[in-house]
């Protein structure tokens, strides 16, 4: 996967979540995906991920703030805001296999603040 393909995969994921097409969102991940947020979530497999999307993702909006991708390692890092039932600002490390995400390790913070307030007015790269 190239950096551009990784960014496109993330956009596909965000669009599927926004459309509440949870099956299409889950299809962005491998059948045996490992999805972790060590403080909140530990999921193994696309079926568990789909169940989480169905129960927790109410009208979600995901904005990718910073996207980095190392083609030689097939790993990326994303900084994001996710809003559904709650608003989270977070960072995730993703490992891809072929055309899908095989591992997603997120650290995220529940926040009442918009992005600029959360970071004290700083935008990514500023």
If one counts the domains in the chain, the total is 1
The C-alpha atoms of residue 42 and residue 9 are separated, in whole angstroms, by 22
pLDDT at 121: 67
Residue 32 has pLDDT above 70, yes or no: yes
Nearest alpha carbon to residue 44 among 87, 1, 102:
102
- For the chain, how far is it from start to end, CA to CA, in angstroms? 28
The whole-angstrom separation of Cα 80 and Cα 27 is 20
Look at residue 99 in the predicted model and tell me its pLDDT: 97
Residue % of the chain over a pLDDT of 90: 53
Residue 59, pLDDT score: 57
* 118 domain-assigned: no
Q: Give domain status of residue 16, yes or no.
A: yes
Cβ–Cβ contacts within 10 Å for residue 44, how many?
A: 12
3-state secondary structure string, 55-80?
HHCCCCEEEEEEEEEECCCCEEEEEE
Is residue 126 included in any domain, yes or no? no
**Span 47-96, pLDDT tens digits:** 998 988 877 765 578 899 999 999 999 999 999 988 877 788 889 999 99
In a domain? residue 125: no
Residue 7 lies in a domain: yes
Is residue 67, in this structure, part of any structural domain at all?
A: yes
Q: Which of 53, 60, 49, 48 is nearest to 15 (CA)?
A: 60
Query: Does some domain include residue 122?
Result: no
Domain that holds residue 30: 3-113
Q: Residue 42's domain is classified under what CATH number?
A: 3.10.450.50
- pLDDT average, residue stretch 14-40: 91
What pLDDT, on a 0 to 100 scale, did the predictor assign at position 113?
78
Domain presence at residue 94: yes
Give the pLDDT score at 24: 94
Q: What is the pTM of this model?
A: 0.86
pLDDT band at 10 (very low <50, low <70, confident <90, very high): very high
């Amino acid at each position: 996967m190239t950096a551009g393909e990784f960014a496109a995969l993330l956009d596909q994921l965000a669009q599927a979540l926004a459309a509440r097409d949870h099956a299409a969102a889950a299809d962005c991940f491998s059948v045996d995906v490992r999805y972790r947020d060590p403080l909140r979530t530990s999921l193994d497999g696309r079926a568990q991920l789909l169940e989480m999307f169905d129960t927790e993702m109410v009208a979600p909006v995901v904005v990718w703030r910073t996207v980095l991708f190392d083609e030689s390692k097939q790993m990326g890092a994303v900084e994001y805001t996710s809003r559904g039932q709650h608003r989270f600002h977070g960072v995730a490390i993703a490992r891809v296999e072929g055309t899908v995400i095989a591992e997603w390790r997120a650290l995220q913070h529940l926040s009442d603040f918009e992005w600029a307030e959360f970071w004290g007015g700083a935008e990514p790269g500023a």
